[in-house]
Amino acid sequence: MVNWVVSKMAEGNGDDRNVVIEVRNLKKYFELHVGMFKFWGEPIYVKAVDGISFKLHEGEILGLVGESGCGKTTTGRLLTRLEDPTAGEVIFQGRNIATLKGKELKEYRRNVQMIFQDPYESLNPRYTVQKTVMEPLLIHGIGETYDDKVELVIKALEDAGLRPAEEYLSRFPHELSGGQRQRVAIARALVLRPKFIVADEPVSMLDVSIRAGVMNLMLDLREKYKIPYVFITHDIAVARYMSDRIAVMYLGRIVEIGETDEVIFNHVHPYTRALISAVPVPDPDHKHGRVEIKGEIPSPINLPPGCRFWPRCPYAQKGICDVKDPPLKEVSPGHFVACHFAEKFMEEEPTEKTVDVS
C-alpha cells in the first residue's frame, strides 16, 4: 500500500523532472527512559515521524508546514542524516542514505546542506565570515590552493547577496545584522554546490522588514542553480510564497500534500482548514469562516486510536474516525488527503474553503 501511494504521489504531481530524493515510509521514534522503571515493561517511544513518503524533484521547493511538535524539523534532520531513522528509506542517487557510514556518509553530506532557524546559534562566534564559509571546503578537500578556496568563499558570499564580499571576510557574527548572518549561513550552504538544501524556518528569526529579501534571495538561487529545497515553516503565507508544493504535517504524519495553490484554495483536511483560517488578513472588512479546533495537540507518546486528529476535529464521527486510521487518498491529480470524508469535503463550494494568505 505504501509503495502504491508513493508511486501515485509522483504520478499525480504531473512532473517528469528528475527525482533528487525520495522518502519512503520514513519513521523516527525516540525511546524514553523513565528512571528505574526503564528496567520493566515495554519501552516508551516518542513517535516524532511516523511513516511519511514524498518525492523532491530537481528545482522544486516543497513546503513542510504544521504546528510545533508535528515532526517537521525531525524530518529535515533525517534527510540530512543528523538523525538516524528508525525505519523507512531515504533514496538519493539510487541508494538508501539511512545505511551509509564513513566515507560514503561524508560524501552524501557534501551533497546536502541545511540552513538552520537561528543564524546566530548556527555560526561559531569565534570564526570570521571567511573561516565559517571556508570550513566546508577544508572538510571535503575542495580547492587545490588557499587562494582557490578564498575565491570560492567570495563567490558564495556574493551569491548570498553580501557585496562586496571582501568587506565581510574578516567580520565576526556579532558584527553582522540578523539578515547578514542568515546570508552567511546561506553562503556556507551554497559553497559546496549541494544537490538539495533543507531550510528549517530560515526566516522566522528575522525582522519582518528583511524576510522578503532573504526569501527572494533563496528563490533567485533556486532559479540560478536549480537547487531544490525542503522548506520547513509554520507560516502558511510564507509556505505559499516559497513553495511549488505543500505538505501539511500533524503528529508525525503527512495529512495533506499537493500543488501549492491546490492546497491553499481547495484544502480538504480539517487540520489544513484550521491552519489556513487562522492566517490574519490585513483588511478590516475581510471576513472568512474560522475553523475552530478544540483542545491541545495530543502527546506523541500516547497517540489517539484511529485518525490522529479526531480528538480536535469539528467534523469527527464516533465509530469511524476514532477506530480506523485514514490512508492518503488522491482527491484530485497530485492532491492527496488523509481523511475519511475527503470526497465529501471536495464537493463543497470553493468559496467555503478559499481564503487570502497573500
- Residue 131 has a pLDDT of 97
The amino acid that residue 146 corresponds to is Y
The closest of 61, 149, 155, 141 to 106, measured between CA atoms, is 141
Neighbours of 131 (CB within 10 A): 15
Domain residues of the chain, as ranges?
2-352
Q: Which of 179, 173, 192 is nearest to 130 (CA)?
A: 173
What b/e sequence results for 120-130 when a residue is b if at least 16 CB atoms lie within 10 Å of its CB, and e otherwise?
eebbeeeebbb
Show the low-confidence residues of the chain (pLDDT under 50): 1-7, 9-14, 16, 350-356
H-helix or E-strand spanning residue 47? strand 44-57
Which residue intervals of 112-244 are DSSP H helices?
A: 119-122, 129-140, 146-159, 178-190, 208-225, 236-242
Share of the chain above pLDDT 90, in %: 67
What pLDDT shows up at residue 274? 87
For 2, 167, 298, 329, the CA distances from 303, given in Å and listed in that order, are 21, 53, 7, 22
Report yes or no: 335 and 14 within 8 Å, Cβ to Cβ. no
CATH superfamily of the 2-352 domain? P-loop containing nucleotide triphosphate hydrolases (3.40.50.300)
Residues 6+ apart with CB under 8 A from 56: 19, 20, 21, 22, 62, 196, 228, 230
Phi, psi for 31 (deg, rounded to 5)? -80, 135
Spatial CA neighbour of 30 closest among 247, 252, 250, 201: 252
CA distance 100 to 90: 11
Helices (H), the chain: 2-12, 72-79, 102-111, 119-122, 129-140, 146-159, 178-190, 208-225, 236-242, 260-265, 270-277, 342-346
In this prediction the pTM is 0.88
In 3D space, the residue among 61, 244, 12, 93 whose CA is nearest the CA of residue 4 turns out to be 12
Q: Which of 62, 91, 79 is nearest to 230 (CA)?
A: 62
Residues in the chain, overall count: 358
